[in-house]
Amino acid sequence: MAMSEAASGTPVERVSLRRVLGPVQIWALGVGIVLVGEFTGWNFSADKGGSLAALIVCWFCGLLYTCVAMIDSEVTSTVAAAGGQYAQAKHIVGPLMAFNVALYLVFAYTMLEVSDAILAGDLITQVGTENGAVGLNHNPFLVLCIMVLVWLNYRGVLMTLNVNFVITALAYASILVLFFSVQPWSQGVVLKLGDMITPSNALPYGWIGVVAAFQFGIWYFLGIEGTTQAAEEVRSPARSLPFGTMAGMITLLIAAALTWYVCASLLPWQQLGVTFFPLYDAATLTGSPVLKLLLFWGTVLSAVASANGCINDAARAWFSLGRDRYLPTWFSAVHPKYRTPYRSILFLMPIAIAFVFIADLNQAITFSILSGVLHYTFMSINILMFRNKWPLGSIRRGYTHPFHPLPAILLFLLCAVTFVGIFLGYGSQLIAMVIFYVIVSLWFHFYRYKYVRRGDQFTMPWPKPRGY
């Protein structure tokens, strides 16, 4: 807890977030949020361009997110504050960018949480109906799932992420078991990749289909940058954040490759591109009841782990906005016992519940992707400004990413291609999202900015930037 002086000169105790996390919890946060993308979402890229297009965008999106992970690891190990990229933006760019970045984060994670709940609820309903249950409705499960996870986040970040580590590891293990159970070393015994991907259907819509597939290729890795949201609660940010983030990225690259290989070898691209449960369907096609049950639970657990991490990250971004007076300070309260941003956690709960009733899975995924790509585009600009204002050697960095400025340039170009892909499939949603962010930016500039205390925002003991 920190001590501050009240106006009367009497010491006042200020409750702060608790530093309790290590690299294991950071891995659990990042991989936990993202792993659901291997169980659903990525496969819609096959509908846009075929199974081979889904593999191509897997490689390029892997490159995009490797750049994201490296850039994030450098900046966040230096700016170790709750809100992650929001804290970076307010120190490096300015208040208006910081406000928008925080909204990107809240919207991306909230809509991802909604997608997770819909996915788990739909799968439970489908499997229950297949096994003779009558009149099942997924709505009660959706509400119960979100409420239980909100309660878990309310009670403490260490417990939340320890739970995430266990259920994420179990979900990941289900992918590995499926992969080794279908004898991947013997094509033609169980897997039929050569029959599923032929010269005539490898890229059914040509290279324009590959560009369109970028829209859902993002889903392979969306959310790994969420590791930075807990930066203020990490014991050793300079060590834990880079290690946990990069280890998480390696974990996900392996999972993405295994997932594509199994699913593309069992499902024709027409079916792969429209199913909501590609790994579960692949397990079903093996004819093994054990694998089918295992991938059912793997899918459910991955969705729960992702929603759990999303609640954690969205609340930290919202909490940071309140603490810096970008939003009412009421949201910046920290629970005196559990040391969590409990008001922000509770405030976002009914918003998520409302969206699970009004959005379908494709819409929720698309809105999450749109906000995420806007945020990644900012990151490419942010690191260039960071290195220009505070060159190497001017401040202490916990991690320095290599090959600068190549990762920033690659990230910007890949984001531009992704925007084209999104426009091809969901142009109206992209335009609506941009209009929304323009409107809230105007609201912030003309109304809310007058409440912001500029001097209180800059908490890093850095020298003045070069050229100041």
CATH of the domain at 388: 1.20.1740.10
Q: Is 56 domain-assigned?
A: yes
Ordered alpha helix ranges (H), 324-393: 342-358, 361-389
Q: Is 1 domain-assigned?
A: no
Residues in CB range of 25: below 8 A, 6 or more apart: 157, 158, 161, 162, 164, 165, 230, 244
Residues 266-281: what's their mean pLDDT?
Answer: 94
Q: Is 431 domain-assigned?
A: yes
Between CA 42 and CA 144, with CA 311 as vertex, the angle to 5 degrees is 90
Q: Could you give the number of structural domains in the chain?
A: 1
Q: Is 438 domain-assigned?
A: yes
Residues 187-207: what's their mean pLDDT?
Answer: 90
CA distances from 213 to 154, 216, 276, 376 (A): 38, 6, 16, 18
Instruction: Write the pLDDT tens digit of every residue in 308-331.
Output: 999 999 999 999 999 999 999 999
Instruction: Write the pLDDT tens digit of every residue in 259-273.
Output: 999 999 999 999 999
Task: Give the domain range for residue 359.
Answer: 20-457
pTM: 0.91
Instruction: Write the pLDDT tens digit of every residue in 329-374.
Output: 999 999 999 999 999 999 999 999 999 888 877 778 888 899 999 9
Residues 139-164: what's their mean pLDDT?
Answer: 92
Q: Is 12 domain-assigned?
A: no
- Say yes or no to pLDDT of 241 above 90: no
Nearest CA to 368 among 22, 6, 41?
41
Q: Is 4 domain-assigned?
A: no
Between CA 249 and CA 258, with CA 255 as vertex, the angle to 5 degrees is 145
User: DSSP letter at 79?
Assistant: S
Nearest CA to 255 among 298, 225, 288?
298
In this predicted structure, what is the pLDDT of residue 82?
Answer: 72
Q: Is 165 domain-assigned?
A: yes
| pLDDT confidence band for 3 (50 / 70 / 90) | very low
**Coil, helix or strand for 105?**
helix
In this predicted structure, what is the pLDDT of residue 11?
Answer: 42
Instruction: Write the pLDDT tens digit of every residue in 48-107.
Output: 999 999 999 999 999 999 999 999 889 888 887 777 889 889 888 889 999 999 999 999
**Coil, helix or strand for 341?**
coil
Q: Is 14 domain-assigned?
A: no
In this predicted structure, what is the pLDDT of residue 148?
Answer: 94
Ordered alpha helix ranges (H), 81-192: 85-92, 95-130, 139-155, 157-181
- Say yes or no to pLDDT of 14 above 70: no
Residues 102-122: what's their mean pLDDT?
Answer: 92
